[in-house]
Structures are given as structure tokens and as C-alpha cells.
Amino acid sequence: MGTKLITLIAFLFFGVKMMAQERVPEALPMLSIQPIVALYPPFDAAMERYKYDYRSYYFSMYPKQLPHVVVTAQRMDSDYSKTPATISNANAWIDRRTTPELLVTTPGVFVQKTNHGGGSPFIRGLTGNQTLLLIDGIRMSNAAFRYGPNQYLNTIDPFSFSGIEVVKGAGSVEYGSDAMGGVVNVISPTPYFNPNGPGRIRSKLTSFWRSQDMEKTLHGETDFKSKNLVLRGGLTLRRFGDLVGGDTTGVQRPTGYEESAFDIKANVKLDSSSFLTVAHQFFRQTDIPIYHKIQLEDFAHNHIALQQRQLSYIKYEWLAPHISSQDYSSQQLLARGLKLGLQKITATASLQSTDEHRESQKNGSATFRKEADDVRSLGASVLAEFKLTDWWRSTLGLETYHDLVGSTRSDVDTGTGSATAKRGLYPDGATHLSNAVFCTNSWESDDWNFTGGLRFNHFSIKVEDENIGEAHLTPSALVWNAGVLRKLDRFNTAFTSFNTAFRAPNVDDLGSLGIVDFRYEVPTADLKPEKSYNMELGWRHQRENWTANLAVFRNELRDLITRVRVGTDSIAGYPVYQKENVQEGYIHGVEVSSWLNLSQGFWLNGNLAWQYGQNVTDDEPLRRIPPLFGNLSLQYWGEPTKVRKFRQNWWGTLEWLFAAKQDRLAAGDRADNRIPAGGTPGWNVLNLNGYWKFSKSKYALTLRAGLWNILNADYRYHGSGVNGVGRSVTAGVTVGF
């Protein structure tokens, strides 16, 4: 504990000292800088649209003419610098391998990996069904999301989106259940229309390779742009070999798997004020081993045979004619200023399906178990945005989601080949219906900004099970939030916010029957929503070449649904548990982040997060609380230069990722075979990577290379079932034409 506090104080002291020295002038939000590192695809979008080099665009035009717009925090376009919330961005950074790994350098986000094919983000100490996942504002979280880490964020192709917004400690008013820790919103690219010419086609091909046969990736994408139509499509094929850890870990076999994905998106301009978006995403992984179960729990075979997700949605947007633009972008509209009255109507309908098939067999057992769970989610929402006065903006929304859960199990006798149908992990045919109405508001002046919102959510959850009979729950939740932001001077802003949140019991809570983690879980018939009360105090310092951010928070947790031991019986060698609303606790912590321009082209970027969680009911730590962790990177952005008729530029970064030892463990942590006896050791990892881009007119060549875990350290993110990648080399090439 003393080491953690000393490290934290030193980090804070560095930030305050740099501010006192006033090494650089002017204001630039941290999140306005982060899109610079998005080589793929925001970099090309900026180049294509404005014909400026990336430094001129982001460092001159962007901060002075267009505010940095965030969409997740208030469910409407908002200027980040005036938003009383902690928001971070991550970009589509293909060197990071998977979508969850894109978040490892995001301030305050800790990524656990139960297996090589997974990845579960912890936001302020919470994960799984207590952290909400969205795709383009549409719920990805469904009625079968389980407590604790899950793999579902890794069912999003990292090539299919342009960025991720992470809102911490907020989101229930805007999006409903599950946002107790925060919200992860994955945002797909929306290419601009081409108003000044005929339709044109652009394409890219990308390949990526990691040494020791750990990864082979091939991706292609094409987009078509015309005055009234934009089409974009992508296809990805990937093969991950067994993960090779550092130092003495060696090959972790079996951990490899295969994955494929495609996505297509069309934007249609119906008239000067109406727009239609149609999108479809498909993602598939096959034969993903659960490494720690095979190594530690006497399984000869334990795999996710199939992990598949599909999302289709259609979105209609109407803009008031006096604010519509021939070449519409939300940033331009916000910069031009919205007029009074109804500004925008957005209607969205979605269909999402997730399929998870599991196969397992114990050593020495003749039973080969096959399980299949599928969830079909229908969603619809209507949002109306208003500007009621010059200083008051408001959004009113209605939304509904309906989940249908299917679950089957078959035990196959390997000796005879006969199969016996059994009850699946969940009751087959269970349903989960959510209906909600909500309102968010923002009141702005030159130096003050107030936000507030209210949401009422009603649920109908039906589960019919042979063990508990028919259970029909109809819980409701009323949540609200409020925030105040004050501009202290030219460079400094302070804010505070209070957010209430909830998580309604889902089908996984009510109906699980079988082995979950290292327990045997049986169904329950009566649960009520979990609740949280998050308080936050924040400070931002923003200049052209330096930004600093500090957030202090406390999250009070009530009526937590937790597994409780049922008697002393065991089933198949696993202790029996059932879920109940019996736990109270809290999590508080500190997050610090900063960007600093050291000299021409050199940037220093760092962040640090510390969290402390306590289970008040059992007088012990909350489970799976991350240790003190963070990262520091030195980046160089070379000025674009011309060689004859060609443009070239390059970028490089040396980064240090670190985590302290986590030996403050709950009883459940000590019983978790993924956590070493005495806790998870601390670790330090150094990475070096960069790219060189060579372009002319419509053609571009980008070469990437990286050296990862330079010191070949053995390390593991707390609670993970596999160790991190050891020393390895990566190489990639992208051809644009």
C-alpha cells in the first residue's frame, strides 16, 4: 500500500510541477490529440476530406474551428471540454491484435483475459454484466451476460470500427441496465459523402504477422462515395497460433484459434435533411481453448467450439432544414450552432444474434459434453433532440429491447456414440424485455455547464425451469444524474458529477445451472436490481501542447447479486452456489492522465489508475479489483515530407506498461485457480513499434513493425487465465488504392 501511494503522489507531483512551469501555451483537449494515432481509418478520412497533412489538420483546424465531439456521455453530440464526465478514446490500432487489447493503454481501463480468445474490460473495478457494451449506441450486452469477466468484447472485429468511447462511472440514464462501472461504445466508421464529383471507389489491403506463428491476419476493405450514397465493406481472416509467453512461460498450448469477419455499411442521403444508415456485421471464432481449465482442472478438452455474433440495424436521421448540410457531419453542425426548437430525430431498429457453443470432456471420462446458447435481441429506439433556449439543449428518448434465450446440452457417450439431451446452462425459451423513457439535458454558459437526466426502466423477465418452476419478475428502476462544470481560467476546468445506476437481474442470474468458473451454480427464483451511486470530482488542464486530467471517484454499491454457498454439497466435485441480493460494498480510486509535447515531433503520454474495493457485507476486499496500473509512452511524429511527387511520413513509439502486485484478495480470489497463491505479481513490459507511410495521389503504402515485450518478461493481468505475450516481432503492410 505504501509503494502504491508513493508512486501515485510522484505522478501527481510531476503533473503539478509541469503546470507550474507553464512549458507550453494554449488549449487542446486530450481527446483531440488521441485521433492522431488513428492511422486506420480516421487518418485517411482527415487527409481525404481536408487535403491537409495530419499535423495541420489536427493541430490547427481541429482545436480552433471544431470542438472535440463525444456522443456517448449524454446521447447527443457534446463538446468534450464542456462535459462534466470522464471520457477516454481508443482507436483502431491493428498492432494491438484484438479489440479488448485496444483498451490496454486507455486511462483507467484494465483488461483481463480468461483465455487467449477473450478480453474483459474493467472500468473502475467492475466488469462483465456490470459494465455496458455498445456498438454504435446499440446494446451489445444481453440477458445472458454473466457476472465477472467474459469474452464478448472480442467478438468485434478491430478492423470494423474507427474508435471506442469509454465513459466511466456513468451511463445508466442514457442506456439503462448494466452501466454501473461505465460504458464502452464501439463506433463504426462513417465515411463522408463526395458532394463535388462522381462516385469514386477506394480500397485497402492489410496483412499482419507475428513471430513464432502467433498471428496471421489478412484484411481488405472498399468504400464507394458519391453525392448521395456512401458504401463501405470489409472482410477479415485471422489465425492465432498458440500464445508464447515470456521468460520461463514458453508456449501455452492449447491457446490458438481462428476468426473471420465481414461488415458492410451504407449511408444514403434521402434529401437535404434526411439520412438513412443500414449496416450489418458478422463475426465468427472457432475452436477457442479455455487454457486454464485444460491445465488446472483435469480437462482433456475444454473449448468454445463456436463464438458467433451478427448485428443488423437501420437508422433514420432527420435534421431540421435550417441546420442540415449538403455534406453533413455532426461536428460541423455543432460548430455552426443549433437553433431553437426541434433539431434532430433519430430512429433505430436492430437485430442482434449471439451464439456460443462449448465442448468439454474430463480426463478419464467417457462423456463428451456439447452445450449451445443463443440469444436473439430485438431493439428499437427513438430520440428527439431539442434546443429549447440559447443555453438549454435536451434529448428525449424511448427505447425497447427484447431478448430470447435458447439453451441446449447433449452428453455423448464416446464409447457407444449415443447422445442424451440434458437441460442447458439456461432455461430454454427464457425472455427478457426492457422498456424505458429517458431525458438528458445540458445548460451551458461561457464559464458554467450543468447537466442532468432522468430515466425510468421497466422489465419483464420470464424463466421456466424444472428446478424452480415458472418465475416472472417485473422489476423497475428510476435513475438520475447531475453534473456541474466550471471553467476556472483559460487553461483549467473543474467538474463534479453524481450518477445513479442499476443492473436488472437477467436470465444468467435467474436460470444458470451448471459449472461456472470453479463453482456449480443452481437457479434462483427471486432477485431485484443491483444499484450504484457514483460520485466524481475532476480537473482538466488544457493547452496546445500539454494536457493533464485528474479524476477522483467513489462508487457505493448496494443490493449486489452474488453467489452464495448452498449447504455443504458438491456436484461433480464443484461446490454448489446460488445467487442472492446480499452484498454491499464500495470502490474508490484516482485516475491521472497527461499528454506533453517535449519538442518538435516528440510527445510524452502517460496515465495511472489506482482503485480500492471493499465488500462491506463480508468485511473483505471486493473480488478482482485491479492493482495500481498504468503506462507511459514516448512518441515521435515525423513531419510529412515530399520526395519528388511522393509524400512520406513516419511514426514511432516506445511504451512502458506496468502493474503493481495485487495481493489484496477476496476469498473468491484466493479460491480462483487463475490467481497465484499470494496474489498476482507486479510486472513491467516495454514495447517498441512504428510505421512508415509512402503515398502519391490515390495510392499509399504503409509498412509497420514492432518489437513487443523487449525484456521478455513473464506477466499476467490480474485474474487472467493466460500469461501475456513474450518477446516477439510483428510486421504489417497496408496498400491503399
Q: C-alpha 427: how far from its chain's center?
A: 29
* Residue 675 clears pLDDT 60, i.e. is over it: yes
* Spatial separation of the C-alpha atoms in residues 646 and 662, rounded to whole Å: 51
Instruction: Give which of 424, 488, 494, 486 is closest to 450, Cα–Cα.
Output: 486
* Spatial separation of the C-alpha atoms in residues 374 and 581, rounded to whole Å: 26
CB 327 within 8 A of CB 48: no
pLDDT at residue 574, rounded to an integer: 82
Beta-strand ranges (E) seen in 600-682 are 602-615, 620-621, 629-637, 641-643, 646-659
Write out pLDDT tens, residues 529-558: 999 999 999 999 999 899 999 999 999 999
Instruction: Give which of 186, 139, 177, 172 is closest to 377, Cα–Cα.
Output: 139
Name the DSSP letter for residue 725. B
pLDDT grade, residue 568 (50/70/90)?
Answer: confident
Average pLDDT over residues 309-336: 70
Which stretch of DSSP H or E encloses residue 164?
strand 163-168
Q: Give me the number of domains the chain comprises.
A: 1
Q: Measuring CA to CA, how many Å separate 445 from each of 31, 183, 338, 389, 451?
A: 22, 27, 15, 12, 12
Give the least confident one: 17-21, 279-283, 366-370, 477-481. Answer: 17-21
* Residue 283 clears pLDDT 50, i.e. is over it: yes
* Helices and strands per DSSP (H, E), number in the chain: 10, 39
CB 537 within 8 A of CB 86: no
pLDDT grade, residue 214 (50/70/90)?
Answer: very high
The 3-state secondary structure of 123-146, one letter per residue: ECCECHHHCEEEECCEECCCCCCC
Average pLDDT over residues 493-521: 87
* Spatial separation of the C-alpha atoms in residues 251 and 235, rounded to whole Å: 30
Q: Is residue 649 classed as helix, strand or coil in its secondary structure?
A: strand
Higher pLDDT, 378 or 336: 378
* Residue 7 clears pLDDT 50, i.e. is over it: no
Indicate the average pLDDT of the chain: 86
pLDDT at residue 467, rounded to an integer: 67
Q: Which residues, 6 or more positions from 51, have their beta carbon under 8 angstroms from its beta carbon?
A: none
Write out pLDDT tens, residues 135-163: 999 999 999 999 889 999 999 999 999 88
* Spatial separation of the C-alpha atoms in residues 98 and 157, rounded to whole Å: 8
pLDDT grade, residue 10 (50/70/90)?
Answer: very low
Average pLDDT over residues 606-626: 97
Q: What cell numbers appear for 556 in the block?
A: 457505493
Omega within 30 of 0 (cis) for the link into 676: no
pLDDT at residue 517, rounded to an integer: 67
Instruction: Give which of 550, 562, 690 is closest to 607, Cα–Cα.
Output: 550
* Spatial separation of the C-alpha atoms in residues 243 and 251, rounded to whole Å: 6
pLDDT grade, residue 293 (50/70/90)?
Answer: very high
Q: What is the DSSP string of 582-613?
A: EEEEEEEEEEEEEEEEEETTEEEEEEEEEEEE
pLDDT grade, residue 640 (50/70/90)?
Answer: confident
Write out pLDDT tens, residues 244-266: 999 999 999 999 999 999 999 99
Sign of CA dihedral 671, 676, 679, 683: negative
CATH code of residue 599:
2.40.170.20
* Residue 74 clears pLDDT 60, i.e. is over it: yes
pLDDT at residue 525, rounded to an integer: 76
Instruction: Give which of 4, 273, 172, 18 is closest to 529, Cα–Cα.
Output: 172
**Region of residue 602 (phi > 0: left; psi between -120 and 50: alpha; otherwise: beta):** beta
Beta bridge mates, 607: 593, 631
Per-residue exposure over 644-655, b if at least 16 CB sit within 10 Å of its own CB, e if not: eeebebbbbbbb
Instruction: Give which of 196, 104, 184, 188 is closest to 141, Cα–Cα.
Output: 184
* Spatial separation of the C-alpha atoms in residues 320 and 626, rounded to whole Å: 47
Beta-strand ranges (E) seen in 320-429 are 341-362, 367-389, 392-413, 419-423
| Residue 597 structural domain | 2-736
pLDDT at residue 95, rounded to an integer: 67
In degrees, rounded to 5, the angle at the alpha carbon of residue 680 between the alpha carbons of residues 285 and 627 is 90
Write out pLDDT tens, residues 110-122: 999 999 999 999 9
Average pLDDT over residues 614-630: 97
With cell 451489445, the residue in question is 140
pLDDT at residue 136, rounded to an integer: 96
* Residue 203 clears pLDDT 90, i.e. is over it: yes
Write out pLDDT tens, residues 647-670: 888 899 999 999 999 999 999 999
Q: What cell numbers appear for 77 in the block?
A: 453530440
pLDDT at residue 195, rounded to an integer: 79
Average pLDDT over residues 184-197: 85
Average pLDDT over residues 704-728: 97
* Residue 54 clears pLDDT 80, i.e. is over it: no
With cell 443490493, the residue in question is 559
* Residue 631 clears pLDDT 90, i.e. is over it: yes
Q: Would you say the pTM of this structure is higher than 0.95?
A: no
Give the least confident one: 499-508, 573-582, 600-609, 677-686. Answer: 573-582
Euclidean distance between the first and the last CA atom of the chain, given in angstroms as a whole number: 54
* Spatial separation of the C-alpha atoms in residues 341 and 344, rounded to whole Å: 9
Beta bridge mates, 296: none
What is the amino acid identity at position 590? Answer: V
Higher pLDDT, 16 or 363: 363
Per-residue exposure over 468-480, b if at least 16 CB sit within 10 Å of its own CB, e if not: beebebebebebb
- What percent of the chain lies above the pLDDT cut of 90? 70
Q: C-alpha 123: how far from its chain's center?
A: 9
Higher pLDDT, 95 or 277: 277
pLDDT at residue 444, rounded to an integer: 93
In degrees, rounded to 5, the angle at the alpha carbon of residue 346 between the alpha carbons of residues 80 and 88 is 25
Higher pLDDT, 341 or 560: 560
* Spatial separation of the C-alpha atoms in residues 147 and 423, rounded to whole Å: 21
Q: Which residues, 6 or more positions from 403, have their beta carbon under 8 angstroms from its beta carbon?
A: 142, 143, 144, 375, 376, 377, 431, 432, 433, 507
